[in-house]
Chains A and B, each alone.
Chain A
Amino acid sequence: MPKAPGTPLYLLWALPVVSLLCAHFDYNYFYQGTVAFLAMSAALWLYIGVSRPWVRLTVGLLSVPLLMWCCGSVALLYALCAVVWEAAAGNRRRYFSPVLVIEAVVLALGTVRFSFLGDLGQILTPKLYYTPGLSPGAEVWFAWASLPLAIILSRLCRRFTATSRKREILLTATQSVLVAGVAIAAAGIYDNRESYRAKELDYYSRIGNWDAIIEHSEITSDNYYQLILLNMALSQNGLLAEDMFRYGQNGVNGLFPPWNSTFMSAVVRSDFLFCVGDIAVAQEMAFEGYVSTTGYGSPRLLQRLVQTNLIFGAWPVAEKYLDVLSRTLAYRDWAERHRRFLYNDEAVEADPLLGEKRRSLPAENRFSISLVDDLKAIARRNPSNKTAIECYGAMILLAKDMNTFRTMLDEDYGTERLPSLPRSFQEAVISLYESYPAVWDLYGVSSEVKANFAGFRSKLLENRSKENLAEIMRVSHGDTYWFYLMFK
């Protein structure tokens, strides 16, 4: 029996590959599952390649524990595939092959008995390669099902051979269409475009390419994560208070996500807090994310921990983390570049990023009770940190907390922190003092904003009895704070 199905059916073996693709769309699936599958495939290839039955059985008996030790639950798949192959091939000694399955199950029982793992559900199934505590979908099983299936099909179709060149081409084309069709169908079912876009934007935020985030963001996205990244990008470009309502804002959660004790929440909150200069809480969130990462930590969050510890001058811990990153392939250069900051306050303070963040640290310690209070303290400590004052104002506006906005105007307008009001703040001034136009001039509301408000009011009065008032106003003034205040 050949190692592969009959020559014309060689594309059957692409089915497990396509099946693995489905699993890869799910970010809770571990790539270790694919590596383990490849190792198992190699071991199976070796097994099938041994012609003498007793030697082959010995190879199988040795491979099962080796696979279980190195790769986990694929050892059972290996044993099952070996049994299926022996049966499909009709080998004389095939009745001995189930001993491989028995061996795998006994080893799995031992693994649980001696507490290497908690339950058989992990060590006997592909759940081992999925985030613990979550239930995987059917897609993690596809590869496990398709490999034995391919073996069986190859046996059933063993006489289905090409007798002519034309027929061979036809068979290959049919299989290609079949595999491609399965791949496309799987991609259609399991691919997640939203997830793809989120990953793209996340990548830009990670490398600090804020322009790309703004460019690629949809104006009316309902996705909070994309909105958070967009607002972060606007704040980093100094455009948050100017342009935020040009995009579909969805409350405070679209600027700063609530804490839901998940890795993603920790990452986004840490990024935002670092951007605005709330270093202590950014560090806390980075640590929460780092420790909750399944597997062996997150280099991205380790980088954040390095930065925050350098800002605080916690040198030994920063050095420890740099040493960890230095042992990675992708982050080695980054780590080496940051070594110059160790035990060197002057270098930290001279650095555009770390120095700016250090200058924003509050002069006096207090507890972080609310982000709004933290932002206020950061803005006062470092008036050049425009991100902090803009986010402070933006949070108040998104919460529609006009009393606090009034306090902010009283305390900050005209100071070095807020010498002039950006567009959305000017619009909020009009909302706050709608009946007192003279006050508008005190806060430097531009004639353009005033004219826009006149248009808004006129449109509102004109259409106030219409059922689709919100939509009408959205089309004409959806990019203003007045619209957000009234209709969102």
Chain B
Amino acid sequence: MKFRFQYLLPAILAIASCAMSDVTALEESGRPAPIFPDYAGCTVPPNVAPLNFTLTDPYGEARAVFSAGGEELTVAARKGQFTIPPERWKALLEAGREDVISVKVAALVEGRWIGYEPFELHVAAEPVDPCIAYRRIEPGYELWSKMGIYQRNLEGFDETPVLENTTTNGSCMNCHSFAMQNPDRMLLHLRGQVGATMMIDGDRIEKLNTRTPETMSALVYPSWHPEGRFVAFSVNETQQAFHLVDPNRVEVYDHASDVVVYDSETHEILTTPMLHGTDTFESFPTFSPDGRTLYFSSSEFVAPMPEGAENVHYSLCAISFDPDRRSFGATVDTIYNARIEGRSASFPRVSPDGRRLLYTLSDYGGFGIWHKESDLWMTDLSTGVHSPLAEANSPDSESYHSWSSNSRWIVFASRRIDGLYSRPFIAYIDEDGRAHKAFVVPQKDVGFYHRFMYSYNVPEFIKGKVPDRRRAISRMAKKDPGIDVKTISAP
């Protein structure tokens, strides 16, 4: 044993130095590194988990040299991927903050070391919210088996359940929503055997029965008022139809829809004729950060459906809201005019600093997740200028999106990896409102997304971890009769 230890350290050093010399004595291919996930040129937060990656071309051995400031790190590919040590990664991020991390990759291909063009990771100054929450669901149409709302720590790789349907009699659950990224104040809907809307405010949990005689359905797409008392919802009569031959497999459409506001103090639903038209579809509401404006999508009524689905084009509209008087304004402003622009805008979300409105733009309809042409667009609310998030978008579907609390990051669902399964991507929005190249939320195991048979649905940033209230929520959902909400007309 003594003999072995005697030579162990020199041997390690020799191997390490060989590795370095291998990477420097190589043949330059002049090609970009064929990496997956595609992190090259992305802007990343200074608190993100290690961006492990792999080479998609066959190789024998491979090395990646990361350098930022005075820091340098060499990682050898093992088990088919570059696994970056978390502590060294943190040091790299710190060294490259507001600057870049340069990555040089070399691979042993057919007996020769081949060098690829270095790529850069831009490290932003602003951190991202530490967690995201999302629903994990197969991208199916009607049936489901296991599903749940989960949260992921972006600074590491931990994923924990917020609620799983194994504890709610196998019910469907959807539309989780947090008030201003606050993990202590959220809501979600349960459908099926246990059907209700669960409102969670710290340890106070309420079960709401939200179907009323005056509304066409239970409450659907939510958005919290910043003060937490109100929540805007849509009510929808939604159906789906299948394309016989089209890259967009399915069309999800409404026969009717309206927008309402729920008052959590009085358990009342407020409506106004401005949001409750029979000749229009109103949907996808969201409040401005000051709580004085309610944005929503609105389209002319189209029938019959689904034959007329291609004629549904949603405009982005806004109406004022007075939370003290619980009243709406008398006029509706149009932010994006679908009649003029010819496309369809859905899921508006205002940045917490109130400067920008982010939305999904499709050729028609409102369910962008099933539209390959759907992209993210942004409106500068001070100038009214609309522009696509060109750097963040892809040829495949980009849809549900949410803002980080500092208005510098967005997370959205994209199907760009395989065309069907939504994955959470994060993009940096700089001071000028320009989106930078998006990156997929990193996984410890690079092959995870390829194997994983669930979509990430409705990714939302949260400022911390949601406390474990699964038992309390499940018990309330299954055993409590719930509170019947009432509908009233707002003044």
Contact = CB atoms under 8 A, between A and B. Distances in A.
A368 interface: yes
| Among A261, A278, A280, residue most surrounded by chain B Cβ atoms (within 10 Å) | A280
Interface string A399-424: 00000000000000000000000000
B145 A294 contact: yes
A317 B420 contact: yes
Interface string A67-96: 000000000000000000000000000000
Contacts of A320: 418, 421, 450-451
Contacts, number: 114
In this complex, the interface size class of chain B, counting residues with CB under 8 Å from chain A, is: 35 or more
Contacts of B468: 114-115
A362 B243 CA distance: 10
Nearest to B306: A367
A367 B241 CA distance: 6
Contacts of A255: none
Nearest to B137: A291
A361 B244 contact: yes
A361 B247 CA distance: 13
Contact of B143 (A261, A314, A324, A369): A261
Nearest to A287: B140
B460 interface: no
A367 B470 contact: no
A287 B247 CA distance: 16
Interface string B236-265: 000001111111011100000000000000
B161 interface: yes
A291 B470 contact: no
B375 interface: no
A288 B471 contact: no
Interface string B415-446: 00111110000000000000000000000000
Contact of B167 (A117, A297, A316, A364): A117
B431 to A, nearest CB: 36
Contact of B241 (A132, A261, A368): A368
A266 B244 contact: no
A114 B143 contact: no
Interface in A345-402: 361-362, 364-369, 374, 377
Interface string B132-148: 00000011111111000
A253 interface: no
Contacts of A374: 244
A114 B161 CA distance: 11
B79 to A, nearest CB: 16
Interface in A88-145: 112-118, 132-133
Nearest to B142: A288
Contacts of B168: 118
Interface string B449-491: 0110100000000000000101100100000000000000000
A335 B184 CA distance: 47
A182 B421 CA distance: 51
Contact of B249 (A133, A284, A292, A362): A284
B133 to A, nearest CB: 16
A317 to B, nearest CB: 5
Given A287-B141, A292-B145, A316-B417, A118 B169 contact: yes
Contacts of B417: 316
B307 interface: yes
A116 B470 CA distance: 10
A291 B242 contact: no
A307 interface: no
Interface in B22-60: none
A469 interface: no
A9 B418 CA distance: 61
B245 A288 contact: no
Contacts of B471: 112-115
B143 A266 contact: yes
A323 interface: yes
A35 to B, nearest CB: 20
Contact of B244 (A118, A132, A367): A367
B242 A280 contact: yes
Interface in B111-165: 138-145, 161, 164
B244 A317 contact: no
A293 B145 contact: yes
A200 B417 CA distance: 40
A281 interface: yes
B166 A291 contact: no
B471 to A, nearest CB: 5
Contacts of A292: 140, 143-145
Interface in A305-350: 312, 314, 316-317, 319-320, 323-324
A367 B420 contact: no
A172 B251 CA distance: 68
B245 A280 contact: yes
A320 B474 CA distance: 34
B170 interface: yes
Nearest to A289: B143
B241 A317 contact: no
B303 to A, nearest CB: 14
Contact of A284 (B167, B193, B250): B250
B141 A288 contact: yes
Nearest to A327: B451
A439 B193 CA distance: 57
A283 interface: yes
B419 A316 contact: yes
| Among B244, B250, B418, B420, residue most surrounded by chain A Cβ atoms (within 10 Å) | B244
10 contacts: A112-B471, A115-B161, A117-B167, A132-B166, A281-B244, A284-B242, A287-B139, A290-B140, A293-B145, A362-B245
Given A114-B470, A288-B142, A323-B450, 9 more contacts: A113-B471, A115-B167, A115-B468, A266-B143, A281-B244, A292-B140, A324-B451, A361-B245, A368-B243
Which are the 3 A-B pairs with shortest beta-carbon distances? A115-B470, A292-B143, A316-B418
Interface of B: 138-145, 161, 164, 166-170, 193, 241-247, 249-251, 306-307, 309, 417-421, 450-451, 453, 468, 470-471, 474
Interface of A: 112-118, 132-133, 261, 266, 278, 280-281, 283-284, 287-294, 297, 312, 314, 316-317, 319-320, 323-324, 361-362, 364-369, 374, 377
